[in-house]
Structure 1
Amino acid sequence: MIPAAVFASGSGSNAEAIVEESHLPCTIELLVCDKPAAPVISRAKHWNIEVFVCDPKTFPNKQAYEQAILTKLREKQIEWIFLAGYMRLIGPTLLEAYPERILNIHPSLLPAFAGKDAIGQALTAGVKVSGVTIHFVDAGMDTGSIIAQEAVRVLETDTNQTLHQRIQAIEHRLYPETIRYILTERERNDSNATSVDQRIR
């Protein structure tokens, strides 16, 4: 099984969906949280997953903050990172250590409504369709290569809460499905590349 980490800043509902999915080719070995009072921390205790609370306010800069996280990830031999409501841009320290091995989930059909409050943005814009996007993480804000998307209708009667509930229901299914697909394909490709390399040798 592939050792992986989940990063979260809030309630942790998407983190829970990943942790409780029994058919993933990975095990969640670590929860990284940047908010010492985040509800996800207490939830993680029920999952029997180690929690690493890393408060950026206690570091002189982003590089030092991410270096502390990277040290912990290497200690746990983490191979993949899944962002699940982690409200910080990933910087060069982690991006260089995990190229195309960091996934994020976003509550819109990117590139529409990137950044914070995507659901509020969609309601303000008056769109008829929003949705969910899962993508690789790069240096930008929700700009990485898109892996999967699923649309959600926006009803005339929708509030932020009602639309959020329907989008979240999709998130909790689509994120584990996409993680399973990506990890399975990546491991298969890595295995095929190794076999070719061995034949060449």
Structure 2
Amino acid sequence: MAKERLGVLCSGRGTDLQSIIDAIGRGEVAGEIAVVLADREGAYALTRAREAGIPAACIDRKAYERRELFEEALIAALEEAGVTLVVLAGFMRILTPLFVRHFTGRILNIHPALLPSFPGAHAHRDVLAYGVKVSGCTVHFVDEGTDSGPIILQAAVPVLDGDTEETLGARVLEQEHILYPKAIQLYCEGKLRVEGRHVRIIE
């Protein structure tokens, strides 16, 4: 069976990307990264990819007048690389229906909170402001909403007295680096079945 070809979209440091690169290197993910794309040139994720010998490019959002044109450029680059699964790894852009429909059922994202609680770009801040005792991370399929797609896996992390966004974020990130490769491997093995809002894991 042909390996899944991953296209990883990033905006920043690329630590989740690195966890996927490392997991593939250990033989824990039966896929290959075909291309890494970032929406800004300064994203360190591009450096990580290039150091690992993975094709990488910047498709700068600022270079496009409209979001649809930017997404069309992303789609073209992913298709050219033969991508079969799109992996969002710290990609700080909301994708429009144009993009989501092109890759329906083939986009994964990881969010640094226990969805459906605390969606959006400031999860750790919102978690601390609300005063919950448990946070974590969620891997989900991407749909046309914001952090609203069917949930694949979750991991819980305690919120400690005195936590800051940085300290909580660091503990959550540790779990992200474990959880995301696991979810990608389940997809690569064909073990995920979406039934409405539910994702069944087939053993």
Same fold (TM over 0.5): yes
2:186 aligns with 181
1:130 aligns with 135
SS state of the match for residue 23, structure 2? coil
Q: State the Cα distance separating 1:157 from its structure 2 match.
A: 2.2
Residues matched between the structures, number? 188
* Percent of matched pairs sharing the same residue: 37
Structure 1 position 69 matched with structure 2 position 71: no
1:34 aligns with 39
2:198 aligns with none
The AA in structure 2 aligned to 1:79 is: T
Q: State the Cα distance separating 1:186 from its structure 2 match.
A: 5.2
1:15 aligns with 17
2:200 aligns with none
- Residue 37 of structure 2 contacts residue 46 of structure 2 at CA under 8 Å; is this kept in 1? no
RMSD across aligned positions (CA): 1.4
- Residue 83 of structure 1 contacts residue 102 of structure 1 at CA under 8 Å; is this kept in 2? yes
TM-score by length of 1: 0.89
Name the CA distance, whole Å, in 1 between partners of 2:69 and 2:165: 36
SS state of the match for residue 49, structure 2? helix
Moved more, 35-44 or 174-183: 35-44
SS state of the match for residue 21, structure 1? helix
SS state of the match for residue 172, structure 2? helix
Q: State the Cα distance separating 1:58 from its structure 2 match.
A: 1.0
2:93 aligns with 88
Which structure has the highest helix share of the two? 1
- Residue 31 of structure 1 contacts residue 50 of structure 1 at CA under 8 Å; is this kept in 2? yes
Which of 44, 47, 51 aligns to 1:46? It is 51
Which of 162, 165, 169 aligns to 2:174? It is 169
> Highest Rg: 1 or 2?
1
- Which portions of structure 1, spanning 4 or more consecutive aligned residues, are displaced by more than 3 angstroms? none
Q: State the Cα distance separating 1:93 from its structure 2 match.
A: 2.5
2:157 aligns with 152
2:5 aligns with 3
1:194 aligns with none
Q: Deviations over 1:3-49 (max 9, x none)?
A: 11111101000011011113212100100100111121222221111
The AA in structure 2 aligned to 1:118 is: A
Name the CA distance, whole Å, in 2 between partners of 1:58 and 1:101: 26
SS state of the match for residue 190, structure 2? helix
Give unmatched runs, 5+ long, in structure 2. Answer: 194-203
- Residue 88 of structure 2 contacts residue 109 of structure 2 at CA under 8 Å; is this kept in 1? yes
Q: State the Cα distance separating 1:165 from its structure 2 match.
A: 1.2
TM-score by length of 2: 0.89
The AA in structure 1 aligned to 2:47 is: S
The AA in structure 2 aligned to 1:177 is: K
Structure 1 position 116 matched with structure 2 position 141: no
Q: State the Cα distance separating 1:161 from its structure 2 match.
A: 1.5
- Residue 89 of structure 1 contacts residue 139 of structure 1 at CA under 8 Å; is this kept in 2? no
The AA in structure 1 aligned to 2:125 is: G
Name the CA distance, whole Å, in 1 between partners of 2:130 and 2:107: 30
